[in-house]
Structure 1
Amino acid sequence: MSLRVAAFISLGLTAVVALGVVGTYFWAVRSQSVATLDWLDQQFPRTVATLPPVSAAYGSDPHQVVVVYRPAGMSNPPLVAFIHGGGWRNGSPDDYGFVARAFAQRGYATALVGYRLNGTGRFPAMLEDSAAAVRWLLDHADELGVSTDKLLLSGHSAGAYNAVMLSLDRQWLEREDVPEGTVKGVAGLAGPYDFYPWDSDYSRAAFGAWPNPRQTQPIDFARGDAPPMLLVTGDADETVKPRNSQAIAARQQELGARAEVLVLSGYSHAGTLTHIARPFDRDSREIDAIMAFFDSIAHNTASAAVQPAKR
């Protein structure tokens, strides 16, 4: 075989692989298959390995689980509790390993948090469970080998709602005897924070039976002494409009709290997840901003400047 033919074949195989990756990306985005993103992410090596994940139940419902990842070779890394999305009716922490692997690259352990879904998961079950998971993590931090001294919350979509609501409405963590100030910062990705009247079948199913709708809205619990927030959204998000992030950040800023908004050009609702997974993190705007925000809290570094909320 000539070198020219070999080079042609090699180039062709590279093109096929590239097309396969691109095709998988678009299929995963269209179908919102988080498990596919996780599988694809695992095909690309990272410089920092993670220890085998530890799964544990914090309640009797099969969805009341946490899956904890820790970067190898690190002692007591700071912990991020990441709450999955899925419209409060589907999703599993088992599918979000790519988030934990991305955070491990920057020196953070991650607890992927599950919560009750569907009928048993109607408001306020998702908040009761998220708070119970935080309590469980505090109680088991030593045996997990993680530090909760500067606990950070994060989540995507419905999970971002859970995380932001826990940080604003004190009652949920208080019910679990989580001390005030335990949560040091929140990074919400494409979350709904101001969505009443209900704007989707998902929100109507999860919140529509609650007698006082305003009690479900994070924006109504804005407070100046809340933990710092980074709110990431995409300008192409048609599922949870960017105004959710902009509105609550503006309210927080008016009250004197630290709230930053990052609107990413060209990002859809699913895009705020896909660009955390490899190889799509080559567009590193999102992951760089998230990690700079985490570092500003966990390591007292300067946070990357992001745009102010629209008023």
Structure 2
Amino acid sequence: MTASRNPWMRAALRAAGALALVASMAGCSGVGTLNALTAQGTHTVEAAVAYGPLPRQRLDVYRPRVAAPAAGWPVVVFFYGGGERADYRFVGEALAARGVLTLVADYRLYPEVRYPDFLVDSALAVAYGLDHAARLGGDPKRVFAMGHSAGGYNAAMVALDGRWLQATGHAPRELAGWIGLAGPYDFFPTDNPDAQPVFFHPDYPPNAQPIGFAHPQAPRSFLAAPLKDQLVSPERSTRQLAGRLEAAGVPVTLKMYGRVNHATLIGAFAWPLRWMAPVLDDVVGFIGTAPPAP
């Protein structure tokens, strides 16, 4: 029996190919593979748009080719957890192909900066999305902050802690929602050697964790994580923050996925890995059903 007629063989071949990609996700070759397989005809890209004066304050704009709704496309400002914005073309394409105007932003990283400078950058990027949504074809009332891993921390702090957007002349209430994928929201004290110097271990700054900002005025929230994550605790961070936001009366969508890990949760946005978890469908569904910001 040929592989094309044997469903078990097809599944095995698909799994083998996906595992090869998964194994390489930690390095540039894995990201390069996902980007090389990314469709080209679903979007246009405007690269290296300045949202601030510094070299790392740049973003890429992924504009859908599909017709925009009357009010404009919904807008996502995406923060990655590692690498640089060009590594996440597969995320920009995946969302743009579904009719979401997507801004993939760089921000300053350690050791160039420590907390809170990267939050200053993240707030500026979100402010750019709010200020320029209409000009880019987006809906300024349907802007979302989104991040994975450390980028999920950035998105959470910008959406939940009003200090950062306030400095740009905006406020979290202007967001239609925010999306956190395997972000660290409660992690002090941390034994992660990469995070310790960023947050001045053991002298952690006050009010620096998203878990402290679960309040009734928080934007509508989408929180997702793998069931098993060796880097960020899904129980301590994702489930706990979702519970506190729900207790405060905030509408929360919580998704936990069994087949993915910390890295492949975002990798599942790329079409070769989408069978691992419906995270793209779930995020787009959240965006599509969220009402406009007041």
Matches for 1:87-166 after TM superposition, within 5 Å: 91-166=83-158
Report the CA distance between 1:38 and its aligned residue: 3.5
Paired residue secondary structure (1:295): helix
Instruction: Determine the C-alpha separation between the residues in 2 that align with 1:125 and 1:285.
Output: 33
Instruction: Determine the C-alpha separation between the residues in 2 that align with 1:97 and 1:220.
Output: 32
Is 1:115–1:121's contact at 8 Å kept on the other side of the alignment?
no
Instruction: Determine the C-alpha separation between the residues in 1 that align with 2:184 and 2:33.
Output: 23
Q: Which runs of 5+ in 2 are unaligned?
A: 4-9
2:79 corresponding residue in structure 1: 83
Amino acid at match of 1:233: A
Amino acid at match of 2:45: P
Q: Alpha-carbon deviations, 1:45-97, whole Å to 9, x = none?
A: 48x710133431222332211111011142331111111112xxxx2111111
Amino acid at match of 2:32: T
Aligned CA distance change for structure 1 residues 106 and 147 (closer, same or farther; 3 Å): same
Instruction: Determine the C-alpha separation between the residues in 2 that align with 1:19 and 1:249.
Output: 32
Matches for 1:160-239 after TM superposition, within 5 Å: 160-208=152-200, 211-239=203-231
Is 1:154–1:160's contact at 8 Å kept on the other side of the alignment?
yes
Q: Does 1:72 align with 2:65?
A: yes
Matches for 1:41-60 after TM superposition, within 5 Å: 41-42=37-38, 45=39, 49-60=42-53
Percent identical: 32
Amino acid at match of 1:81: V
Q: Alpha-carbon deviations, 1:2-26, whole Å to 9, x = none?
A: xxxxx99xxxxx99x9698446413
Report the CA distance between 1:268 and its aligned residue: 0.8
Instruction: Determine the C-alpha separation between the residues in 2 that align with 1:29 and 1:23.
Output: 10
Is 2:222–2:252's contact at 8 Å kept on the other side of the alignment?
yes
Instruction: Determine the C-alpha separation between the residues in 2 that align with 1:266 and 1:180.
Output: 33
1:258 corresponding residue in structure 2: 251
Report the CA distance between 1:238 and its aligned residue: 0.6
Paired residue secondary structure (2:44): coil
Aligned residues: 284
Is 1:34–1:96's contact at 8 Å kept on the other side of the alignment?
no
Report the CA distance between 1:232 and its aligned residue: 0.6
Query: Which of 241, 252, 266 does residue 248 from structure 1 map onto?
Result: 241
Q: Alpha-carbon deviations, 1:107-162, whole Å to 9, x = none?
A: 11100011101123310011100001122223333432222221111110000000
Aligned CA distance change for structure 1 residues 196 and 260 (closer, same or farther; 3 Å): same
Paired residue secondary structure (2:266): helix
Kindly name which structure, 1 or 2, has the bigger radius of gyration based on alpha carbons: 1
Is 2:173–2:217's contact at 8 Å kept on the other side of the alignment?
no
Instruction: Determine the C-alpha separation between the residues in 1 that align with 2:273 and 2:16.
Output: 13
Instruction: Determine the C-alpha separation between the residues in 2 that align with 1:189 and 1:41.
Output: 23
CA RMSD of aligned residues (A): 2.9
Instruction: Determine the C-alpha separation between the residues in 2 that align with 1:117 and 1:82.
Output: 16
Q: Alpha-carbon deviations, 1:247-304, whole Å to 9, x = none?
A: 111111121112232111132101211111121113452122111111111589xxxx
Aligned CA distance change for structure 1 residues 230 and 141 (closer, same or farther; 3 Å): closer
Amino acid at match of 1:272: L
Instruction: Determine the C-alpha separation between the residues in 2 that align with 1:179 and 1:264.
Output: 32
Instruction: Determine the C-alpha separation between the residues in 2 that align with 1:289 and 1:183.
Output: 19
Aligned CA distance change for structure 1 residues 19 and 295 (closer, same or farther; 3 Å): closer
Matches for 1:277-296 after TM superposition, within 5 Å: 277-296=270-289
Q: Alpha-carbon deviations, 1:213-252, whole Å to 9, x = none?
A: 3421110111111001111100121111111101111111
Taking structure 2 as the reference length, the TM-score comes to 0.86
Is 2:259–2:276's contact at 8 Å kept on the other side of the alignment?
no
Amino acid at match of 2:99: G
Is 2:196–2:202's contact at 8 Å kept on the other side of the alignment?
no
Is 1:77–1:147's contact at 8 Å kept on the other side of the alignment?
yes
2:35 corresponding residue in structure 1: 39
Aligned CA distance change for structure 1 residues 205 and 211 (closer, same or farther; 3 Å): closer
